[in-house]
Structure formats: C-alpha cells, structure tokens
Amino acid sequence: MPEGPASEFEQGSSLWKDARHRMGQNKFAMGSLCVLGLMILLCFAMAWFCKDPNKVNLVNKFAAPSEEHWFGTDALGRDLFARILYGGQVSILVGLIATAVSVAIGIIYGAISGFIGGKTDAVLMRIVDTLLAIPFLVLVIVLQATLSNFSGEVTQWIVDNWGWDKQFTSRLTNVVPLFFALGLLGWLTLSRIVRAQVLAIKEREFVEAAVALGYSKSRILFRHVIPNVLGPTIVYSTLTVPGFIMYEAILSFLGLGVESPNSSWGVLIKEGANFLETEIQLLLLPGLFFSLTLFSLNFLGDGLRDALDVKASKD
Amino acid sequence: MSLLEVKNLKTYFHTRAGTTRAVDDVSFSINKGEIVGVVGESGSGKSVTCHTMLGLLPSPPAKVEGGSVTFDDQNLLHLPLPILRAIRGKRISMIFQDPMSCLNPYLPILEQVVEPILTHEQTSREEAESRAIEMMIKVGIRDAETRARSYPHQFSGGMRQRAMIAMALVTNPDLLLADEPTTALDVTVQARILQILRELRNDLGVAVLFVTHDLGVVADVADRVVVMYRGKVVEQGSVLSIFENPSHPYVKGLLACRPTFETKYRILPTVEDFLHAEEAKDGSLTLRERPNAMERLSNLENKHDPKDFRREPEQTLLEVKDLKVHFTSGSGFSRKTRQTVKAVDGVDLSIAKGKTLGLVGESGCGKTTLGRAILGLVHAHSGIVRYDGAVLQASDMRSYRKRMQIIFQDPYASLNPRLTIEQALTEPLTVHQIGSGSSDRRERVVSLLEEVGLSSAHLLRYPHEFSGGQRQRLCVARALAVEPEFLVCDECVSAMDVSVQAQVLNLLNELQESRNLTYLFISHDLSVVKFVSDEVAVMQAGRIVETNEAEALYRQPKDPYTQKLLDAVPKSDLKELRERQRRN
C-alpha cells in the first residue's frame, strides 16, 4: 500500500472498497455478473410477457421454433421459451433462498461454536459431524417430503384466508419446501468454515485488545469477529448457489423435486431427455440456460475469492 | 581477486501500483573467506539483493534492470538455468530466516542434509551420509549419529538452524548467503550460531554474506559492512571504521538511535535528527545531512537526568504474589491425553507508581503469559494480583479494564482491519461512557492522535493504510483512550526497525512523564529493556530468577542465567571492536 502524507480528513479506503475495486478489474467476474443480471432479468421480468407455460396444445406438439413459439413447443405443445423462463425462476430462487437460509444458520452456528469453544464447541461440532455422515440427498428428500405433506393444507389455507390465486399458490407451496429443505441442510460445511475462521480471528491480537478494553462478549463477536469472517463466507456461499441449483435439478430429474406441470430447469432437462433422439433441442436449450448460469456463478465466485483475498489486509 | 562481485545491480518490481526500485545501483564485493554484513531496515533491498544473485525472485513482478553479479568469472544473472542450478547449493548456498518453515517437516533431518550432496555429486549414499553426519557434528548438533534420523519438529529452533547450516555447507560451497539467519532465535542461541559461523569460516574458508537488520550482530560477526537504505548502498567499509567514523548521515542516525547498554540519555535520537530525505516526484531520493546533528546529540546527553529514586516515597501500584498459570493441552472430553505446561510458576513482583519494570527472558519463558495473567486475559491457576491496594478478582475485572491496558507485539494484528481509526478509537470511549456526545468524543480522539504524533487527517483511514510504526502509535492511542494508569507493553517494539523503535520508545517515555504512567515492559531485547526500565526482572522457565535496579543488574548480575543472557548479547561498543581487531 503506497503511503503518502494524508490530506485533511482523507477518506480511507476500507477493505470492502479495495475488494470492490479489485473485483471491477476482473473481466471474467464482471462478465459473469452481467450474464447473471441478464438471466435474472429474463426470468423474472420477461416471463410476465410470455405465454402461459402450462397451456397444453396437443395439436401443436414438437413444433419447430417460429415467431409464435421462439424455442418451439414440447411433447404437450407447451411453449418451451416460457417454460424455460418460468423454470429459471424456480432454479434461481432455489439457489438464492437456500443459500440465504444456509448462510444465516451457518454463520451464527459456526461463530457461536468457534467463539465459545470448549465443550459447547465439541457438542455443536459433533452434531454437524453426525448430519454430515448421512448422505445429503437422502436427508433433503426426507425433509422435503415431510414439509410437502403440509403443502396441500397450506395452499388451501392461503387461498381461503388471503384470497390468493389458487394456481399461483399451489405452484409456490410445491417449491417452497424444497427451498427450505436445501437451505436447512446446506449450512453444515459453511458452519465449519466459519468456525475455523472464527478460531483464527479469535487469536488475533485485536480481539485480545478488545477484551483488555473491557468490551462485552457480544460486541466483540458481532463487531470484531464476524465482520472479519465474512470475506471467506461470501466466497464460499457464491460457490454454493450453483450447488443448490444443481441439487434442485438432480432432485427434479429424479422426480422428487419440483413436480410437473410446474417447471424448473431440472424438470425440463428430465422431460427433454425422454426425446433425446428425435427432439434434441428440448434437452439442449434448457441445458444451455442451466450451464450458462452455473458457469457464471462459478466465475463470479472465483473473482470474489481473488478480490477478497485476506492477504490484502496484511500489508 | 574477489570471490563475488556485485556491480551496479538494479532490481525493480513492476506492479500495477507502479515501479519500486528495490535494488538501485548496488555494488560491493566479497573476498574468499570473508564475512560481509549487509545491514538495512525493512524495505532497504538487502534480501532482494541476496535473492537476485541466485535468481530466486519471482519474475514478474521482479526484473533485473541492469548490472552484473560476477562469481568465478561468470555473470550469474545471464547463466542458463541448468548451469545456474549446478551453482546453487553447490558453490553458493543459502540459509533463511525461519528454520521452522525451511525444513521439510515430512523428511528426517539426515535425508535433507544428504540431499544437496546427492543432487550435486556422484557419491554413494553411504559416503554422503557419513559426510552429512560429520557436518552436523561440525555445526554443533550433539549426538548427530542418533539424532540425524529425527524429524524437524523434534529439534529446537536453534538446532533446526544448525541443521539448515549443515545442509548449506555440506557441499563445501565457496559462498554462503545467510538471510537473517538468527533473527528468529533467542540471544543465547544466536550467540552460538554466530560463533559457529565464525568457526566454519576459519576452518573451511567459506565466505559469508550475512544479511541482517541488527547492527549489533554485524559488529559481532562481520569483517566488513555494507549499509543499505531504500535500495542503495549508503556506506561500506570495515566494521571498525563504520562504527567509529560513520560518514553517511543515515548510518550515523542508525548507530545513534539504537539503545545499547551504554546509552545514558532518556530520549533516543532518531534517524530523522540526522537525515533529511526528500522524495522527488519520480521516486528518486535526495538525502541531506541535517546541520549540527551531532550537537543535538550532545544536547540530549546533557539533558540526561539520573532518575532519582528517593525523590518521593514510592507507592506500589501493582503487586503480584505467587502467581501460577498452568495450561492444559488437549481439550474436549478425554482426560487421558491432557498435559500440563507450567507457563508461569510462582512469580512475585511489584511495580511502583510511575516507574517501569522491565521483564526479560527468552522465548517460552512465560513472560507474555505473565503479562496477560496480570490483566486477567488468561486465567491464573493460583496467586494474587493486587492493584492499587485491592486484590483483582475475575468477576470485577471489567471495572479495572479502564485502569490497566496492554500494547501488543504485532501492530498489524492488533487493530481490527474493518474499522476506521475513528471507529477504533471511539469504541473504548463509548463502551466506558467517557465523554459526552459524539462531538466531544471526536475531540478526545483527535487529541489522542495528536498526543501520539498523528493527526486528525488520519481519522477516516483504515489500519492497513498505515506503516508499522504508525500502527503501533494507534495501538498506544487506543490503549490511552480509557485513561489507564498502568500499561503492559508486550514486546511492543520487537517487530520494528531500529529507527521506528526509537520513535516508539521515545513516545512511551514522553507519555510516562506527561501522564505519570506505570509500565510493565516485556521484551527479549536486553538493551531495549535496560533503556526503558527503572527496575528489571529476569525470567526463566516460568520463574523470576533475579530482580534488581536496572543499572545494577546489568553491571553486576547475580544469577548465572542473567550472566549468560548478558554475555550472549552481541557487543558493538568500540572498545570491544578495537580489541577484536587487534586479536585478528
């Protein structure tokens, strides 16, 4: 860091600001950010102007791309473009919501475990170990099935009490259990990462200085420890978003996630795979959107990792 | 004909932030069997010079922009890699600062000492092994035959450094590049290593290029000295001539700002007293000597006012009785694996108000733990800490936090990197409800900054935008924010260059006078401790072996361990140097 005489009240540049600057220099990461922005815009804004993704038209099945159906139609004559966009909503939301849930749980759980230490830490970490020992997908399926049991009742309740549209509500209650099932189980690795970071930060002298200055435990945890573990956490969580999208696709592909006629990229790929030999675009087009999103997210994660590299805080 | 000749060497670092001239037109030479010390502070380019010679710098960003390094009629800078590789480790060896990270933890020591022989020579394994063991005995590894098959973690720091030296010398090189080889070691171990280097030079005739920041070490070991400052050689000559008659203002300043056992004044001169450096826009430096620097120095000496102990009745501020801190390793539920380490094992000490107690000892003696136990930062196993007449209890420690503070060794790690200076300094005020309202608090923060030699311009900056010395000032300011009476300084200048160290020590001394502070000054550096302390306690293996008034303890140590420590300190006073010269 170059040093010069400071002018009056010179605005310092925080580590976050430095990271933003480094991020801005990374063309791959910025490109990925643009692709993702475009994807979100497409799926959430364009979708309103699209055709009904669930409108069946058996006469017009397997139609070639045309002005009316940009990507053609599927086996039931539904508009593929609309289905991809609506499917994208589900997939992107799975990624974001599940990550948000898992990050929230993971940071708090890991920070508490690492900060308190001792027996609390040992117990909390053994719980994580136990959960990690059970195959992730099995747990997700069980949890999602349990949560889904109530989806019918919840739909009815919402329609009765809040007067929401029935079709919309049932779409929602179909996918929400999946969001939470993934989120509620996805924090395990994250909590270990946060714990390890907290253990390292806890040994740093500024934390000891804070104790010596008589700060309270919660102040030290929330003001001095957690902000310093956010960097690696953010990096890790950007890399979990594609993971969750992938899990949703796997579950849907297996017929356990999002159910037809609702669409998601996993559902579309599964449906497309049935017509692999004759109508390959039914597989390729959703697959293209899916891969493009995952690529961008991974590039973004890499860019963030470079930008938030903690080395910068040293000199 | 010199063995190695560096001529007009220029190594620049090209980064996005601009070009740094790490080594800028450096020339010097080493003769056969000579020990040349390259001295400089951090950023002076001494290590870069050393690494450039063997082509060890990552390129980019480093680039050799000119000059030559002639060894044996070959310019090392232009040798093709296979030929250079045959020289590295065979004719020119290198030892590094940190023996911990320079040995491969997965290989036995012997394996690593044998490796250079097997790489560079066509010898049988048996012969190589016997030569390796011979060399290990030569560098002072006892029971080398049996210990050779141990792993690095089974060796102590000093032993590891010896293994490193054995590894470097086992191929009988002509030149040894030693990059701060003793910096990470205790003084007694350092003294042994320096002695070994001198002996090896005499026995094997190996030339040594000794890179260090420590003038005392150079005076002790080297024949000639090259002083570097910001990438340039500012002065070179024999040790005696440099110490006796430094001609460059930087060297004068460097020699003067270093506390030694003979330092008599209360305020240290700084390099800035001697040297006026002007940086032009293109990054080039103009160095000018300040007029009448020597006069200022003599003024300082005259100002000396021997601390009068009987001027006022002493009032004990802090008293420690039979304090014990034991650590149990291995946590969790299993009791079987636990081991107890007695870090502090029955310590008594007392500090009078407004005085400084120096606490010296080698690494691992428990001095840091003692400091933290007094402040309640680590849990004391038993014993009493009495502060201002009252016994400190863990339960009401928080009310004492305002009165007792600590400054840590590493100023890089002791400030939260995510908070601005204003936030960091305001926080203690908020927590302890000092000052009323934000404008009053801001005023207090500004006056604190000014007190430690910084200004309000720094308020909104972040810690990483400051140099090491400035950061330590910030730590001092933060500690002073709660207006304590007692400060524990835990190795607070150990990581600093001497010129910065002088400034921080002066600051501490000034603050002690203006605020009537009491210090517990913990350090491994005996000269610094002598300079700051009224009384000195020597600690060994968790116990205090000797306490006495500073002057008396250094003049007439009673305990053999104190004597051993004092003997190990590299001597750099002129009398000693002249004597050595006469002997040679």
pTM (predicted TM-score): 0.79
- Report if residue A12 sits inside a domain: no
What does the pLDDT average to over B512-530?
A: 90
Six token digits for residue B93: 């060896």
Local structure of B32: helix, strand or coil? coil
- Report if residue A38 sits inside a domain: yes
Burial A181-206 (b: 16+ CB within 10 A, else e): bbbbbbbbbbbbbbbebbbebbebbb
Please say whether the beta carbons of B233 and B26 come within 8 A.
yes
- The answer to which of A131-135, A142-146, A259-263, B106-110 has the lowest mean pLDDT is A259-263
pLDDT digits (tens, 9 = 90+) for B248-279: 888 888 888 888 887 777 778 778 778 877 77
Cα distances from B255 to residues A173, B39, B220, B274, in angstroms, run 78, 12, 14, 11
Among B377, B408, B431, the residue with its CB nearest the CB of A215 is B431
- Report if residue A221 sits inside a domain: yes
Our measurement of the distance from residue B203's CA atom to the centroid of its chain's CA atoms, rounded to an integer in Å, reads 30
- Report if residue A179 sits inside a domain: yes
pLDDT digits (tens, 9 = 90+) for B326-359: 887 655 555 556 677 788 888 999 999 888 999 9
- Report the distance separating Cα B502 and Cα B249, nearest Å: 16
How confident is residue B1, by pLDDT bands cut at 50, 70 and 90? low
Mutation target for A interface from B396, B465, B472: give the one with most A CBs within 10 A. B465
Matching residue, tokens 């040297």: B275
Structural domain span for residue A300: 18-46+78-313
- Answer whether B466 sits within 8 Å of A10, measured CB to CB: no
Please state, as a whole number, how many other Cβ atoms lie within 10 Å of the Cβ of residue B291: 9
Among A9, A10, A212, the residue with its CB nearest the CB of B377 is A212
- Report the distance separating Cα A178 and Cα A252, nearest Å: 10
What percentage of chain A carries pLDDT values higher than 90?
9
The chain-wide mean pLDDT, for chain B, equals 84
Please state, as a whole number, how many other Cβ atoms lie within 10 Å of the Cβ of residue B525: 19
- Answer whether B413 sits within 8 Å of A204, measured CB to CB: yes
pLDDT higher than threshold 80 for residue B98: no
- Answer whether A6 sits within 8 Å of B461, measured CB to CB: yes
Please say whether the beta carbons of A307 and A50 come within 8 A.
no
How confident is residue A198, by pLDDT bands cut at 50, 70 and 90? very high
Find the residue in B nearest to A14 (Cα): B462
Full 3-state SS string of chain A: CCCCCCCCCCCCCCHHHHHHHHHHHCHHHHHHHHHHHHHHHHHHCHHHHCCCCCCCCHHHCCCCCCCCCCCCECCCCCEHHHHHHHHHHHHHHHHHHHHHHHHHHHHHHHHHHHHHCHHHHHHHHHHHHHHHHCCHHHHHHHHHHHHHCCHHHHHHHHHHHHCCCHHHHHHHHHHHHHHHHHHHHCHHHHHHHHHHHHHHHHHCHHHHHHHHCCCCHHHHHHHHHHHHHHHHHHHHHHHHHHHHHHHHHHHHHCCCCCCCCCCCHHHHHHHHHCCCCCCCHHHHHHHHHHHHHHHHHHHHHHHHHHHHCHHHHCC
- Report if residue A59 sits inside a domain: no
Helices (H), B149-211: 157-169, 187-204
- Report if residue A219 sits inside a domain: yes
Residue A208 Cα, gap to closest chain B Cα (Å): 7
What does the pLDDT average to over B524-548?
A: 90
- The answer to which of A162-176, A214-228, B151-165, B177-191 has the lowest mean pLDDT is A162-176
The maximal CA–CA distance of chain B, rounded, in angstroms, is 80
Domains of chain B and any CATH numbers: 246-306 (no CATH), 316-403+484-575 (3.40.50.300)
Residue B404 Cα, gap to closest chain A Cα (Å): 8
- Report if residue A5 sits inside a domain: no
Give me the number of domains chain A comprises: 1
**Residue A1: predicted pLDDT:** 37
The chain-wide mean pLDDT, for chain A, equals 81
pLDDT digits (tens, 9 = 90+) for B459-511: 888 888 888 888 888 999 999 998 899 999 998 888 788 888 888 898 898 88
- Report if residue A171 sits inside a domain: yes
Six token digits for residue B366: 């428990």
Mutation target for A interface from B408, B412, B431, B462: give the one with most A CBs within 10 A. B462
A263: domain CATH number is: 1.10.3720.10
